[in-house]
Amino acid sequence: ERSDRDEEGKDRDDRGKKPRRHGEKGRLRGEAPMKRGTIYMISGGPTDGDSNNARREHAQAVKRKREEVGITAHMPVISFKEKDVEGVVLPHNDALVITAEVAGFNVKRVFIDTGSSVDVMFYDCFSQINKELNMELKPVATALYGFNGGEVMPLGEVSLPVALGSGVTRNVRMVRFVVVGAESSYNIIMGRTSLNAFQAVVSTYHMTIKYPVGENVGEIAGDQLTSRSCYQTTVSNNKQLAQRQTKPKEEEISQLGGSRSKEDRQRLEKGKGKVDIQPGGEVEEIQMIKGYEEKKFKIGKELEEPIRSRLISL
C-alpha cells in the first residue's frame, strides 16, 4: 500500500517536468528531423516560354489552375510486370533508347530523358529529315543549360509529328523540337514535354515506355545494345574533347613552327609574366607593308599550307 502511494506521488511530481531527451543535444521523441533547406531541379530551354514574361506567366498559371484540375478522360491502368523485363540483360543501368517515327522517318537512337525540360533534335538528324521537307527553323531566344552550367544556343526550333507504336496502339503527337548543333551519339532526346503529351509512363528497369491509346495501352521496348553503344560513343567523344581542350601548349606551338625556351616554359607554368615565342629552325622574313623595309616579321620556313598563308594574310 505504501509503495502505491509512493508511485502516485512520483507521478504527480513528474507531471510538470519536460519530456526527457536522449543526451544533452538529442531530439525529442517523435520530433520531425530538422530540414536544412530545399534543392530545386535544373531545367532550361524555351519549353515554358521564350521570354521572362512568358516564363513568369507559366509559373503563375499553376496557382490559378490548381483548383480547376480534374480527371478529364478515363485512362486505362498502366502497370509493369515481370514479363516486361524478359530479354533485358540484368542487372543493368542502361539508358532507355528507342526507335520512333518522326515526320515519316524511322529515327533510331532516340534517348528517353525525363530529366530534360525540352525535346532536342541534333542537327545531323534534322538535316537528313529536312532534305525532303525543306522546313525553316524558327528562331529561339532562350539558351539551353547543362548540369555543369555550360550554355548551348539552339539553332532554332521546328514542330514535327512523332508517332509511337503501330496498329491500334499507334499514337501521334506534334512535338516542338529545339535543334542544336552539338555533337551527340543520339539523334533525338525526348524530354518531359513530349512524354507528357503522350501521357507516357517510363520504366528504365524494364527498359519500356507505355502510353494510353483510348482503352488500350501501347508500349515500346528499348534497345539495350544500341543504348550501350551510344554510351560508349558518348564517353569516347567526351574524352577526346577533354584532351583537345587541355592540349599542351608546347604541342600547339610546335605545329606553328615555333618553340619555347626552358625558362619560358617555367614562367608559363607559374603564370608569371609574358612568354616570348620564337620561330624554331630556319626562318624567313615577310614584309608587312610594301615600301617599308623595316616592317617585317619572321616565320618558320617549315610551315605548311594553309597555316603559312593564314599567318601572312594577318
Chain segment 117-149, per-residue pLDDT in tens: 999 999 999 999 999 899 999 999 888 887 556
Paired residues of 162 in beta bridges: 102, 173
Neighbours of 83 (CB within 10 A): 8
Neighbours of 251 (CB within 10 A): 8
CB-CB contact of 210 with 80 (8 Å): yes
Burial of 154 (0-12, 13-18, 19+ CB in 10 A): buried
pLDDT at 182 over 60: yes
Q: 75 versus 254: which is more confidently predicted?
A: 75
pLDDT band at 41 (very low <50, low <70, confident <90, very high): very low
- Dihedral, CA of residue 293, residue 298, residue 299 and residue 302, to nearest 10: 90
Percent of residues, the chain, with pLDDT higher than 70: 54
3-state secondary structure of 63: helix
Structural domains for the chain: 82-243 (2.40.70.10), 249-313 (no CATH)
Over residues 48-71, the mean pLDDT reads 58
pLDDT at 47 over 90: no
Residues across the chain: 314
pLDDT band at 96 (very low <50, low <70, confident <90, very high): very high
pLDDT band at 152 (very low <50, low <70, confident <90, very high): confident
